[in-house]
Amino acid sequence: MTPQSILRVLSQHPDNNITEFHRALNSVGGKLLGGGATGGVTLNYHEPYYTWRNFLESTHIKYNHIGRIRAYLDAEPWGNVNLGGTIYRLKPDVDIDAAISALSMAA
């Protein structure tokens, strides 16, 4: 999935978001739980073509895609170093077509 397609999915429903999550960041190199840290990034979305089933779908995406589209997103941090992350939502004033065009030209 490209950064452009991620922006397009985020624009299709107000509840669509990206969740960056981590667990046990402070355990890396620790005495008891060294190397036990985990994390990831998911794109959470409502499928626009199947309105009769209104549950959230989720797919893993690459972490570096957030960096490319960060200027178009609002960030909501949650949790702490033991369990936490950030929820990213599309800023309300973003012109999707202009943003996708800018990303395509920069690539």
CB 46 within 8 A of CB 68: no
What is the spatial distance between Cα 19 and Cα 103, in angstroms, rounded to a whole number? Answer: 21
Look at residue 72 in the predicted model and tell me its pLDDT: 97
Look at residue 91 in the predicted model and tell me its pLDDT: 96
- What does each of the 107 residues of the chain score in pLDDT, given as a tens digit? 899 999 999 999 888 999 999 887 666 555 555 566 678 899 999 876 666 666 778 899 999 999 999 999 999 999 987 888 999 999 999 999 999 999 998 76
Q: What are phi and psi of 91, to 5 degrees?
A: -65, 140
* Structural tokens at position 18: 């990206």
Look at residue 96 in the predicted model and tell me its pLDDT: 94
What is the spatial distance between Cα 64 and Cα 83, in angstroms, rounded to a whole number? Answer: 21
